[in-house]
Amino acid sequence: MTTKKDLFSLIPKIDDLLNDEKIKSLFSKVARGIILEAARENIDKIRTDIINLTEKNIDNFKIEHVELINNIIMDIEKKNRMNLRRVINATGVVLHTNLGRALLSDKIKEDIWNVANNYSTLEFDVNTGKRGSRYAHIEEVITKLTGAESAMVVNNNAAAVMLVLSTLAKEKEVVVSRGQLVEIGGAFRIPDVMEQSGAKLVEVGTTNKTHISDYENVINEDTAILLKVHTSNYKILGFTKEVSLKEMVSIGEKYDTPVIEDIGSGTLIDFSKYGLTKEPTVQESVKAGADIVTFSGDKLLGGPQAGIIIGKKKYIDNMKKNPLTRAIRVDKLTFAALEATFRLYLNEEEVIKDIPTLRMITYTLDEIEEKANILYELLVKEVKQCAIEKVKGYSQVGGGSMPLEMLPTTLIKIKPQDISANKFEKMLRNNEIPIIARINEDQILIDVRTIKESEFEIILKCFKNIFKQQRGE
């Protein structure tokens, strides 16, 4: 009769596992520590399984060498994989906050790598041979595109607003409409950002209505800023009234008080030209006379995460001297990606095609249908274990941008056989390149708007592998 002691004696030694040809071939690609850890963990699992065996199951227990080696290899691959890695976004949410928001343009890859893989002019002026300013690299192109006098960059838009308030309004009053006291994501709220900056919040108007007189009634010698916040992540509809930026600028000029506008997910493109909801552009804010404008780099601009501050030079020069600036400044890779992204906007005719975010938002119905047909035909031809059909649906811009905009799209609807939609969705997520899809009424929905055509084959391969696993192959 087989005993647990007998089974323990059959457990392979670690050295023997490391000498297996399949394992040995990995030593040139993977750190020895990772391989050793994976082998030990699998052996520990076998020991635990043996300890937990009942007398009835002892005789049936076997240690399959091939299976053990394959399990170790799979664990090595998992341990050697980056935690932050690529996924396929099949949700149709263009600026998906959890999936990294904006995709950078293929056209700027070389620009970023040249800075990343070499020494750079980050804070060096080649003309004078002396120390330079890191902001100089992006200031020229930003001011050229926006019409602003000056520009600087910090690590996100919340930091941009905080720096502006800390520099211009510390221990002084900032006047804001109650309808603009927004939460900007991750439970960060405008009043909280203001409090951290040291500024004093003065609320005016009501949630749905604010008038010019509301601002004028509270302005005094302690008023430092009139702040306008674009509610890019929600809309108030119906019985509403707000003071326009142009009107606020007139108030600011009358009382010699700077006007700051935070437009959040700022854009340089007028999306109404493409049949979409009109969003205020950065250029319009500058033209209206705002003293300072802040906006994000990784939303509708289509660049890396950054907070961009533009406006009057006298104010921005003071911000650059603020000690807080060093704590929230960006690195050379962000500067490289941001400058390269802005330079794409110099060619207005091509920028919509060159920046993935803009391209995905402005797809025509015919273009979406054409993409959907390609993926649909590929799946129908190769995958027989699902009911697959095309249906009409809607995509979203996401990222707190264009909250009312519903983008008509074509969805691939998948009803797997002999497997629940929840299990299928989990297997999609566990693919080597995770595929993130939607579930509705026990069916998988795939939106091609946010999928690259080069990813269609990856999706097909994943589907095939899922059903192979189901068959035990």
Band (467; pLDDT cuts 50, 70, 90): confident
Rounded to 5 degrees, φ, ψ at 395 are -100, 170
Say what the pLDDT of residue 54 is: 84
DSSP state of 13: P
The answer on pLDDT for 192 being more than 80 is no
Q: Is the pLDDT of residue 312 over 80?
A: yes
User: What pLDDT does 384 receive?
Assistant: 86
Q: At what angle do helices 313-321 and 157-169 cross, to 10 degrees?
A: 100
pLDDT band per the 50, 70, 90 thresholds, residue 400: confident
Q: How far separated are the first and last CA of the chain, in Å rounded?
A: 33
Q: Tokens 């950065």 sit at which residue?
A: 282
- CB 332: neighbour CB atoms within 10 A? 17
Provide the pLDDT for residue 399.
Answer: 80
pLDDT of residue 62: 86
pLDDT the model gives residue 264? 85
Please spell the DSSP secondary structure of 240-290, one letter per residue: -B---HHHHHHHHHHTT--EEEE-SS-BSS-GGGGTS----BHHHHHHHT-
Range 360-384 average pLDDT: 94
User: pLDDT per residue over 118-172, tens digit each?
Assistant: 999 999 999 999 999 999 999 999 999 999 999 999 999 989 999 999 999 999 9
Q: Please report the pLDDT score of residue 35 as a whole number.
A: 95
Task: Give the mean pLDDT of 193-216.
Answer: 85
Query: What is the structure's pLDDT at 183?
Result: 66
Check residue 347 and give its pLDDT.
Answer: 92
Domains of the chain: 4-79 (no CATH), 88-97+360-470 (3.90.1150.180), 106-354 (3.40.640.10)
- Split at pLDDT 50, 70, 90, the class of 195 is confident
pLDDT score at 374: 97
409 near 449, Cβ under 8 Å? yes
Q: How far apart are CA 188 and CA 243, in angstroms?
A: 24
Q: Which range, 164-168, 348-352, 401-405, has the best average confidence (pLDDT)?
A: 164-168
pLDDT at 241: 80
Cα–Cα distance between 450 and 8 in angstroms, integer? 52
Q: Tokens 């994501």: give the residue.
A: 185
Instruction: Say yes or no to pLDDT of 180 above 80.
Output: no
pLDDT of residue 4: 86
Q: CA distances (Å), 123 to each of 132, 152, 159, 276, 358, in order?
A: 5, 14, 22, 41, 32
**What's the CA gap between 325 and 134, in Å, rounded?**
12
pLDDT in tens, 225-282: 999 988 755 566 556 788 899 999 999 999 999 999 999 888 999 999 988 888 889 9
The SS3 of residue 307 is strand
